[in-house]
Each structure stands twice: as structure tokens, then as C-alpha cells.
Amino acid sequence: MKKVNVIWIVLMACAMMITPIFGQSRAKKNKIIADSKMAKVEFIKTDPLMKGLFDKAYGYVIFPNVGKAGFGIGGASGNGAVYERNTLMGIAKLSQLSIGFQAGAQAYREVIFFETEADMERFKSSQLEFAAQVSAVAVTEGASANVKYAEGVMVFTMQKGGLMYEASVGGQQFKFSKL
């Protein structure tokens, strides 16, 4: 029975990954924006030093609700709000595919900071992809104190719920649409 549930979750995650963001209703976009604002508050509440990252970054994207599931093959998907110079300017979709030892499902938040305008433009033109070597920092108090940009980006995640065992490789891909 549990195996059937995990397979169902993986199928749902894959279906979410192929759902286009560009046809979303105004109400759905407003919910993504509102959830992103709340996620930013939660990131700063967990690690107050992150406020400086939000203030100083050229831009950032916040994915407030990323769902991830896998059983051998896994996937993740989420939508987020894109900010440039602290001004809302778009919506983004995150898609992830992974393969390897993995079982379970989880939900998390993710924020990606961009150091320069060129790094931000790379994201907006959907040319930014993360491979297995990119690591995200789990947000805890003080976690952001010594983190540095790698190739113009800095990634933080915050666990929301679920349980997933994983030793896999994969990557994240992003699609951007202007408001």
C-alpha cells in the first residue's frame, strides 16, 4: 500500500512539473506572491542575518512551496516570485528531476540570491540550471553568516514537512515569466 502511495506522489510531482506557469490565473499568481512574502518573513525569522542578503542582493527568487517526491526516480516542482532590486518583476517555475536511491516525499522553501545583473539576466533568460554539484544551505540561525556566492548565485532551503531518504543526482531547471 505504501509503495502505491509513493508512486502516486511521484506521478503527481511529474504532472506538476509539466504544468505551464504561463497560463496561470491572476488569483494563482497573487497567491504565489503572497506565499513568497510570507516565506521571506520565515527565512529572516529563522536567520535574522538573511535580511542583509535580501537587502544587498541584485535580485532573488523565492519558491515558497516546493514539493518533492521520489522512489528511484524523483521529481520536484514549485512556483515562486522574482524580485530585482527588491521590486517584484516576475514569476518563476522550478522543475527538478533526479535518479538514484530515494524514497519519500517532502515540502520545502527555496530562495536563490543573484549577485549581479548578469547573474539575474541568466536566470530570466531561463539559462540557469543547477546540477548535482550545486549545494543549498539549510537555513538555521546564523547559517548565512559565512556563505558566499558561487558562480553568482547563493541558494538556501528551509524544510517544511515530510521525510525523504536520498542519495541521488539530478538538477533543477527554471522558467521565468514577466508580470
CB-based burial label for 120 (10 Å; 0-12, 13-18, 19+): buried
pTM: 0.81
DSSP state of 86: T
Q: Tell me the average pLDDT across 27-33.
A: 95
Average pLDDT, the chain: 83
**Contact (CB, 8 A) for 102 and 167:** yes
Of the two residues 179 and 1, the one the predictor is more confident about is 179
Which pLDDT does position 133 carry in this prediction? 42
**Contact (CB, 8 A) for 116 and 150:** no
Give the percent of the chain with pLDDT over 90: 50
Q: Tell me the average pLDDT across 96-124.
A: 91
Q: Would you say residue 148 has pLDDT above 70?
A: yes
Which pLDDT does position 2 carry in this prediction? 53
Burial 168-178 (b: 16+ CB within 10 A, else e): bebebebebbe
Give the percent of the chain with pLDDT over 70: 80
Q: Would you say residue 176 has pLDDT above 60?
A: yes
* Long-range contact set of residues 131-140: C-beta below 8 Å, sequence gap at least 24: 131/171, 132/169, 132/170, 132/171, 134/172, 136/110, 139/43, 139/46, 139/47, 139/50, 140/46, 140/47
Q: Which three cell numbers stand for residue 150?
A: 558561487
CB-based burial label for 142 (10 Å; 0-12, 13-18, 19+): exposed
Which pLDDT does position 4 carry in this prediction? 47
